[in-house]
Structure 1
Amino acid sequence: MWVLCRWGPVVLVGGSLRGMMRMVYAFYARRLRRQLDPAVVPRHVAMVMDGNRRWARRMGFGDPWIGHRYGAEHLDEVIGWCAERGIRHVTVFVASVDNVRKRDSGEVDNLMRMIEDVVAERLSRPVSVWRVHVAGRLDVLPDSTRHALKLAADATRDSATGFHLNVAIGYDGREEIVDAVRELLEAESRAGYGVADAARRLTADRIAAHLYTGDQPDPDLVIRTSGEHRTSGFLLWQAAHSELYFCDAFWPGFREIDFLRALRSYAARNRRFGA
């Protein structure tokens, strides 16, 4: 195979071609990193990890659910990129309420085992810099999955690194807002306020404080992989003024250069916050 480089045409075969492609990739990644201004890096990045099953089919795996395992293992790498760039808040959309309730029971069982064995176990390791928060309706999850995620959250609760990872599982954006309003009204009732008084005291900020991510900044950037151009109810309230970035790569094939391109696109935008 002929490849044209700055010194002229070069013949590459087999491993030589793969080596050249790795060199080109590394060069391009370094170039993207240099283009990024550390002062314009988002504080909070949210990601819809979409396309796991389609990636597995494209790669020729007989069982498309193998894609979820690869996707879960890839999460380690992606949040590592976030930490390297100084992004201290990350939210990942793992599974919606509909994913858990409406998909084939065998598929859901496989997904839950993958979450227990890969996501929860890896995030609770002492070497992890991330404090884990679980966002979603945990009552729709199997007991074993709920327990594994609780252990991960408890094991990282005292982390003082300042890095926070929200795992959105059994999640629905509308349900989150309902839960927040219900929790706020219950708090008002315990404080002795009636319905009329609670209604007068109701504000957007007070509702926001009771969201699953209530003590964290809203996401500056939402990334969705797999080429789908929709948010699927993800962080409906928090993402009202977020920048959106849609990437064609399936989640297990989401490369560092794809991530850096998303950050470059974010940095080039003029954020208006609804103005």
Structure 2
Amino acid sequence: MTALPLSFFQRLPKTDLHVHLDGSLRLETILELAAEQGIELPADNPEALRKAIHAGENTGSLVKYLEAFAVTLKVLQTREALHRVAYELAEDAARESVRYMEVRYSPMLHTEQGLRLTEVVETVLRGLHDAELDHGIESRLILCGIRNISPEHSLEMAELVVAYKGRGVVGFDLAGAEYDHPAKDHHEAFSLVRRNNINVTIHAGEAYGPPSIAQALHVCGAHRIGHGCRLREDGDLLHYVVDHRIPLECCPSSNVQTGAIQSLATHPLRLYLNLGARVTI
């Protein structure tokens, strides 16, 4: 069979259900925002900055991988920066024929310079809306609690999700360092969101094994699983996920970069598809 060219896949209409706002900045934008705000970066040109913050093929761990977010978060503390980055993210996705996108981030990480949580949410929504008007891409928000930050902060994010239900926010997520930070600690946030009939997705089965996925599903009520690459280690749970049509948001390149899998060739995506799992990439 002749391999299809990359341009073919770029033209296909697509959705993107797992994209992080603070992990999707253009290098030039980071440099320009830093210059405007007087922020010192680890490098002062695009190529050097790429080497400083790009994860490469394998950083060895999720915690190490997440260190680069400290750089992007530095420049994402103003309304102007948030609007620009949200707009550019949607603009770039539209160029790759993405028609619908769910952008996730944690508003509490963007308040270091005094922005209110509502300002953070509404500014990003405006950026995405402006991109929709210009480029025809529809975008919605998923707000995140953080595993390694207190459950009280996750509850605050859940309250924000409820407040913006029907106004551009469509779900709640729990992200951050997975190992030794169980999702069940944030049960109040999940309970609030589910009582308000709002969907839940949880990062699980990336830096920890199947018990993390089981907890996300059975204790926290997740409707989707982010990553889930270690689900294959538990055949019974894997069949449960398939039987209950629980979508897996697979992120193969990220999984290689964090060391969750050794290579793209060994990623369980093909296994999941062959078993009939619902999978997004």
TM category (shorter chain) comes to 0.3 to 0.5
Instruction: Report 1 or 2 for greater relative contact order, CA contacts < 8 Å, sequence distance ≥ 6.
Output: 1
Taking structure 1 as the reference length, the TM-score comes to 0.40
Larger radius of gyration: 1
Taking structure 2 as the reference length, the TM-score comes to 0.39
